[in-house]
Amino acid sequence: MTRDLEEFRITSLPGEAFYIADFISDYEEEYLLQKIASAPLPRWTHLSHRRLQTWPSALTKTNTLLESPLPPWLKSPIVEPKFEELGIFKNSPHGAPNHILINEYTPGQGIMPHEDGAAYHPLVATVSLGSPIVLDIYEKSRQDERDADCELPNGRKPQFRILQERRSLLVTRDRLYTDFLHGIAEIDRDEDLGPHSICNWFLLRGEDVLHKNGYTRGTRTSLTYRDVLKVSKMGNTIKFLGGK
C-alpha cells in the first residue's frame, strides 16, 4: 500500500515540508527508546547542550560515509516499510537513508540555528520520541552565507515554527533544506502556541498540545534519517580484513 505524502504537506511554508502525526505507535516509540538507552555508553557523544549517537558511524573528514549496514532496529519499522510506503527517499541517490543521528534534549537544551550542509542529499526525515518540541526555521541572509558556521545573533526571531509531537514524522527537503537554517531554542517551555504561530497547527493530533497555549518540555529524542552522498566501500573491506 502506498500513502500519499502530499496530504501531509505544510502548505504555509515556502519550501517543501511534510508533517505526519502518529507516524509510529506507542509500542514502537517505547521499543526505539529502549534500543537507544541500551546502546553502549561510548556510542554517545556529549555536547554542551545535548547528547548524540551517530549511526552507523561519523563521516570522514571528506564527508564520506564508510559503508556499513544500519542496525535492524533503525531500519524496521521506520524505513521498511513506513518510509518506503510513502516513497520518502525514492528520489535520493541511494534510494534509502544510510545515516542516522540520534539527538537527545533534556528540558532547557537545544541546538543552535544551522544548516545540515552539502554532505547529504537535501532531505531530512525526523522521527520524534518522548516529548514535543518546537523547531525554529530562519531564512538564510547574505550575512549568514558569508559566516562559515552560519550562527545567528542571539534574539533573532524565527520566521516559522514547526511543532513536532512525540511519535511524529517531519520531512524537510529541497529549498527548505538549502535556503533556511533550523534550530531548537534552549528553553524549558514552548509558549505562544496556536494556529497564528505554528505552521503545522492543522496537522497536529495530540491532546497534550492542541488545547494549550504552551507546555513544559520533557526529554525529547529525535532520529534524523539522511542519505550521505559520498559512500566508500572501504568500511566493509576494513571489517573483512579485521575478520569481523
Ligand X SMILES: O=C(O)CCC(=O)C(=O)O
Question: Which positions lie near ligand X, rule CB under 6 A?
Answer: 101, 103, 111, 116, 126, 135, 182, 222, 224
235 Rama class: left (phi>0) / alpha (psi -120 to 50) / beta: alpha
Cβ neighbours of 62 (radius 10 Å)? 8
**Cα 100 to Cα 228: distance, rounded to the nearest angstrom:** 10
**Cα 30 to Cα 35: distance, rounded to the nearest angstrom:** 9
Residue 101 binding: pick among Fe ion, ligand X, none (C-beta 5-8 Å cut-off by kind): ligand X
Q: How many positions of this chain bind Fe ion (CB under 5 A)?
A: 1
- 119 contacts Fe ion (rule: CB under 5 A): no
108 Rama class: left (phi>0) / alpha (psi -120 to 50) / beta: left
Q: How far is the CB of 177 from Fe ion (least distance, A)?
A: 9
Q: How far is the CB of 75 from Fe ion (least distance, A)?
A: 22
Return the range that interacts with Fe ion (CB under 5 A); candidates 35-43, 113-121, 149-157, 199-207: 113-121
Residue nearest to ligand X (CB): 222
Residue 176 binding: pick among Fe ion, ligand X, none (C-beta 5-8 Å cut-off by kind): none
Please name which of 122, 212, 120, 124 lies closest in space to residue 165, comparing C-alpha atoms: 212
Residue placing its CB nearer to ligand X in the complex, 60 or 237:
60
Q: What distances in angstroms separate CA 179 from CA 28, 91, 114, 127, 150, one per listed residue?
A: 33, 20, 11, 22, 12
Please name which of 219, 207, 220 lies closest in space to residue 127, comparing C-alpha atoms: 220
Residue placing its CB nearer to ligand X in the complex, 108 or 237:
108
Q: Which residue, chain included where needed, has cell 517543501?
A: 16
Q: How far is the CB of 124 from ligand X (least distance, A)?
A: 7
Residue placing its CB nearer to ligand X in the complex, 82 or 226:
226
Handedness of CA 237, 238, 239, 240 (dihedral sign): positive
Q: How far is the CB of 84 from Fe ion (least distance, A)?
A: 24
Q: Which of 116, 179, 186, 208 lies at the binding interface for Fe ion (CB under 5 A)?
A: 116
Residue placing its CB nearer to ligand X in the complex, 92 or 126:
126
Q: How far is the CB of 95 from ligand X (least distance, A)?
A: 22
H-run or E-run covering 50: strand 50-55
Residue placing its CB nearer to Fe ion in the complex, 28 or 116:
116
Residue placing its CB nearer to ligand X in the complex, 174 or 237:
174
Q: How far is the CB of 2 from ligand X (least distance, A)?
A: 26
Binding site for Fe ion (CB under 5 A): 116
